Structure 1
Amino acid sequence: MVDNILSILELKRQNVETEFKIIYDEVTEICALLDVEIKMPRISGRQMHRENHQAETPEAYFRVTMYFQYLDHLIQELRSLFADSRQKAMKVQCLVPKYTVSSTFADLIETLDFYQTDLDCSASVLRGEFECWKAKWGRKAGNELPETAIEALSFCPRIEYPKIATLLQIFATFPVTTSTPERTFSSLKLLKTYLRSTMGHERLNGLASMTLQRDVPVSVDEVVDLIAQDPRRLDIVL
């Protein structure tokens, strides 16, 4: 599936003029209905804050500054997200009991090579643990099978399944998306503005945590007690 999408995007990249012409014609029709003129930004001799490509027409300008870069970025992100190394790492998913019952050791063998430094064991050792792990969950009903790595870890005693516990711990820490850091950056723009650029790290971290973790209850009494522990020269009379 991913290879098919990449081949389509690369084909569009090769025929970029034809493909962008179709998009540009549709945009032109919409702009005509809205009485909006398509114009490219002013081209200057030196520009640092936006694209400044030389172009004779708006179509050529937006093709170079937007369509080219969008396709290149999308192709690069797909290749990075579904790289061979990442696909090998994701083979650990077969250790989640929901998928273990229908998996074989052949699905896990590539993981041994990829995480050899973390496991430090032979294939026979990992095979033995996998067979015991699969037999354990093969006797359970479908609704009793854990569906996530974190749930599976709670049923995986390290003394019995040391290698599988290590792999599940690694799998549980895989970042699924980049939404958390992106949300953090968005919050920082609201917290640390030009008028509050001298804010200290401790205060900034505290405000950022309160903004991001809004579901965590905050006790007013605990906050007051914490502030009261800091000695101040000014006596506050309530």
Structure 2
Amino acid sequence: MANKYVKGKNFFGFIQRIYTIFANSTRRWEILKDNVKAWSLKSLCQTHCKIRVESVKAIKLQLVGVREALLQIGEKDNDAAIASEATSLAEKELDDFEFLRLIERKIWFNESSTSEEVSFTPKENFRVNYFLFIVDQVISSLETRFKQFKEYDRVFGFLFPHNLRGIEDKDLKSYCHCLKKALKFEERSDIDADELYIELKLFETLETNEFSNPIDVLKFLKELDYFPNASIAYRILLTIPVKVASTERSFLKLKFVKSYLRSTMTQERLSGLTMISTENEILESIDYEELINQFAIKNVRRASKIVG
């Protein structure tokens, strides 16, 4: 969410650049340790919010020491590009973030104050111009996503077993026509509303009280094989992606992937293992022998060693 806000994106990029300069050299890291004693710098993490907070706190609370370490690297480092970037970060770019220093704001004509100007402390400026702005963006995004859920429920909600039972005929027919309209493209729809209505009414006469979710209903319909419109409707219902679930699922998978035995893995490896764990069903369906052969035949020398 912070990446959608220009100042927030630039700030977190600035944090990562500082960490990269020190982390890519043991000698530079020693310079950092000589100037910064309390909190060690950390790389930004895309999936773990706590580490992201610690990355910012380490610089915020030790800004003087970090600046001094950057200046020393600018003076002593043999790599001209690194030395120039370190000096630029310390002397110029650090001042681009207003909340790191005291700033002043003019009073509006309708504000009551005895002075013409008021001062923001760095903490107040960060809260007003960064934190609250990003919180507003989060709230707006959540409201948009809940609107998507409401629209999803309006179109497909009647197909859920607990909603389908006891629904009045006129309402059911209205829902069927609404679904047909939603699935319409270039004057054609994936379903016929009237036929869907008849199939669902027939479905209600069967022993369906044991069904608790749309997956059970679809399995049952596939076995019968004479509810074509209902089958299509339930397949679409179950394959519509719910975007927010992917993020929640990723965080739930982290506890399985990043245990205390893997606490030092890189972000790239963590993201890869999380994806493998999340999509394990796809991974299990892969034919490894075929994958290895396809990889090997792309290079003659590799093929002679692997395929034999």
Give the TM-score of the pair, scaled to structure 2: 0.42
Distance of aligned partners of 1:173 and 1:213 in 2 relative to their CA distance in 1, 3 Å threshold: closer
> How large is the Cα RMSD of the aligned pairs?
5.0
Structure 1 residue runs of 5 or longer lacking an equivalent are 1-37, 194-203
Contact 1:92 1:111 survives alignment (8 Å) = yes
Identical pairs, percent: 10
- Does residue 184 of structure 2 align to residue 116 of structure 1? yes
Distance of aligned partners of 1:60 and 1:40 in 2 relative to their CA distance in 1, 3 Å threshold: farther
Match of 2:203 in 1: 136
Rounded to whole Å, the distance in 2 between the matches of 1:137 and 1:75 is 40
Aligned pairs (5 A) from 1:46-195: 46=93, 52-53=97-98, 55=103, 56-57=120-121, 58-83=123-148, 87-90=150-153, 91-103=155-167, 104-117=172-185, 120-121=188-189, 125-140=192-207, 142=209, 144-148=210-214, 150-157=215-222, 160-176=226-242, 177-179=245-247, 182=250, 190=266, 192=268
Distance of aligned partners of 1:167 and 1:126 in 2 relative to their CA distance in 1, 3 Å threshold: same
Rounded to whole Å, the distance in 1 between the matches of 2:205 and 2:62 is 64
Rounded to whole Å, the distance in 1 between the matches of 2:288 and 2:182 is 47
Structure 2 residue runs of 5 or longer lacking an equivalent are 1-59, 65-89, 104-119, 259-264, 297-302
Partner SS for 1:160? coil
Distance of aligned partners of 1:131 and 1:118 in 2 relative to their CA distance in 1, 3 Å threshold: farther
**Cα offset for 1:66?**
0.9
Partner SS for 1:82? helix
Contact 1:101 1:134 survives alignment (8 Å) = no
Contact 1:88 1:110 survives alignment (8 Å) = no
Partner SS for 2:93? coil
Q: What residue identity is the alignment partner of 1:97? A: P
1:190-214 Cα distance to aligned partner (Å, 9 max, x none): 4735xxxxxxxxxx97x66654467
1:169-221 Cα distance to aligned partner (Å, 9 max, x none): 1111123312377459976974735xxxxxxxxxx97x666544679999xxx
1:80-116 Cα distance to aligned partner (Å, 9 max, x none): 4414xx5344321312333212332223432221111
Contact 2:173 2:194 survives alignment (8 Å) = yes
Match of 2:56 in 1: none
Give the TM-score of the pair, scaled to structure 1: 0.51
Rounded to whole Å, the distance in 1 between the matches of 2:62 and 2:184 is 54
Rounded to whole Å, the distance in 1 between the matches of 2:204 and 2:176 is 17
Q: Which has the higher helix share?
A: 2
More moved, 108-117 vs 175-184? 175-184
Q: Greater CA radius of gyration, 1 or 2?
A: 2
Q: Relative CO higher for 1 or 2, CA cutoff 8 Å, sep ≥ 6?
A: 1
Aligned residues: 177
Q: What residue identity is the alignment partner of 2:136? A: L
- Structure 1 runs of 4+ aligned residues shifted over 6 Å read 38-44, 184-189, 213-218
Contact 1:129 1:164 survives alignment (8 Å) = yes
